[in-house]
Amino acid sequence: MKLRNSNFIRVMILVLVSTISVPSPLAAQHIRQDASGRVVPDFGDVRMSEEDQIKLGQRVSAEVYKQMPVLPASSQITRYVQHMGERLAAKAPGTRWPFEFRVIAQKEINAFALPGGPIFVNLGTIQAADEGELAGVMAHEIAHVVMQHTARDARKQQTTRTIGAIGSMIAGAVLGSGIGGTLASGAIQIGAGAISMKYTRADENEADLLGAQIMYDAGYNPYSMAEFFQKLAQQNGGGIQFLSDHPNPGNRAEAVRNVIQKFPQKSYPRSDSQEFVAMKRVAGETKAYTAQEIANHKGSWNLSDAAPGEKPNPGSGSIETVSYAQVRPSGAWNHFDQGGLAFDHPANWRLSNKNDEIIVAPPAGISSNGAIAYGLSIYSVKSGVSSAEIAGGIVEGNPGMKILVGPNRLRVNGVEATSYDLIGNSPIVEAGSQAREHDWLVTIPRGDGSTIVLIFTTPERDYAEMKRTFQTMLRSFRVH
């Protein structure tokens, strides 16, 4: 179960900002805006087949998995980014590319897209962006794939040289200048005569404009993209890597605004979602490495799942098979009473209370990056948010999760409460696959209008045994 913390990672953002005056916002060769205001792509002549693009992207992606600190698919950060990416990609025009969205634990603000669909976002980007800005970065990267920029720019090269060229682009995008040799092993030869594959200004302009349309269609405020561009331009160095890999096509913020002004008026969320806030808190507590640290690293990172198509290799975000005996609640109980909340919990389960969230879990039931397989998460939601919205937000923020039962009414020490049973994916990996997880969600209103949220989590196989403990904990729960 993803933790519900309130500060999430700023996602890598792939759009540049500068103060150069811009030409016509639709100066891009393969983009036009029709009479209704929609941005319409013209894919032009791309001589590399879609099948070859997908194969190249997968080949280079495999090298990224081997040599970069890629967060596991089971991590809360990855799950959120994957969900956001899928929401955006569903609005992308043209070919239905097999998109995959993953996070690299690197400090520098950056992101990059490979031909055919793999997209990687740096943790530093997530830590620096709000939800709309992150959507802007990802929409921009999706647009690069949709417009087939890498394949188009390399169309005059032989396929073998294109592989090296793409590797060269990635080395710069991921590691920064001067460290490209880190990816020089394996099937992808970086440098050594490879052509430059950095995007052209026309490519960037097209990705900005089509990305804005994708954001609009997916329900994100496209102005967030322009605002992020301005933020990067005003920084003294935090966005340098991003800007060096994505050459500024001009005053990109102004160009994006000029296009957006022609979109039909639409309302957008005024604040970050609860799922983003929770994810960002986890992101802020997750270790990120500098480009130099990554270049100096030797051996396996032990962070990531295996590359696509290979058997998963559990890392720090997943848990290998755990037996019920390893997490069995003891017969002794400890009492917690702090911050207006009081409850009992098994004495052999650890309690942590930080960043406005309480976690109670057996040591073997929580991964090194905080993913809960067994235990309880408690946090508070501001007034005006219904139980249905809380349950819906949790499902939306956890791809593969769904509501099994609910809403149900119950009383917790005289207070009317609401519960849902949710089913999803556990961080526990068994026989190469994620176990199924059962979450018991209980929402309890407070006198000030806010809501206390309790999420009891266990693998589905142990739910019957574990629910007795969960019910005992809930019966002891007091709000005062």
pLDDT digits (tens, 9 = 90+) for 95-139: 889 899 999 999 988 888 988 999 999 999 999 999 999 999 999
Q: What is the mean pLDDT of residues 407-436?
A: 86
Q: Are 286 and 8 in contact (CB under 8 A)?
A: no
Distance, CA of 121 to CA of 112 (rounded, Å): 7
Does residue 211 surpass a pLDDT of 90?
A: yes
Q: Could you tell me the two tokens for 479?
A: 């709000």
Q: Is 275:269 a contact under the CB 8 Å cutoff?
A: no
Q: How far is CA 68 from CA 175, 182, 217, 231, 284, in A?
A: 9, 9, 33, 27, 19
pLDDT in tens, 428-457: 877 667 788 999 999 999 888 888 999 999
Identify whether the C-beta of residue 183 lies closer than 8 Å to the C-beta of residue 172.
no
At 192, is the pLDDT very low, low, confident or very high (cuts 50, 70, 90)? very low
Q: What are the tokens at 6?
A: 């309130």
Residues of each domain in the chain carrying CATH 3.40.1000.10: 319-479
Residue 307 in tokens: 């590359």
71: its two tokens: 């967060």
Element (H, E) at 39: strand 39-41
Cβ partners under 8 Å of residue 105, min gap 6: 69, 70, 71, 123, 286, 287, 288, 289, 303
pLDDT in tens, 324-340: 888 889 888 999 988 78
Percent of the chain with pLDDT over 90: 28
Q: What b/e string do you get for 352-364 counting C-beta neighbours within 10 Å, with b at 16 or more?
A: eeebebbbbbbee
Structure confidence at residue 409 (pLDDT): 93
Q: What is the pLDDT of residue 369?
A: 59
- Name the residue among 144, 133, 75 with its Cα closest to residue 103: 75
Instruction: Label residue 53 by pLDDT band (50, 70, 90).
Output: confident
| Contact call for residues 168 and 191 (beta carbons, < 8 A) | yes
Instruction: Identify the CATH assignment for 319-479 out of 3.20.20.140, 1.10.540.10, 3.40.1000.10, 3.40.1160.10.
Output: 3.40.1000.10
Higher pLDDT, 398 or 39: 39
Work out the mean pLDDT of the chain and round it to a whole number. Answer: 76
Confidence of residue 62 (pLDDT cuts 50, 70, 90): confident
Of these ranges, 60-69, 87-96, 199-208, 367-376, the one predicted with the greatest mean pLDDT is: 87-96
- Does residue 184 register a pLDDT over 90? no
Task: Quote the CA–CA distance of 229 and 257 in Å, as a whole number.
Answer: 11
Q: Residue 242: pLDDT band by 50, 70, 90 thresholds?
A: low
Q: Over range 372-399, report the average pLDDT.
A: 84
Q: State the pLDDT confidence band at 247, using cuts at 50, 70 and 90.
A: low
Q: Count of alpha carbons within 13 Å of 405, Cβ hemisphere only? A: 10
pLDDT at 20: 22
Q: Six-digit token pair at 140?
A: 């921009």
pLDDT for 182 equals 34
pLDDT beyond 90 at 473: yes
* pLDDT for res 379: 87
Tokens matching residue 329:
């609640």
For the cut 60, the answer to whether the pLDDT of residue 194 exceeds it is: no
Question: How far is Cα 244 from Cα 253, in angstroms, rounded to an integer?
Answer: 17
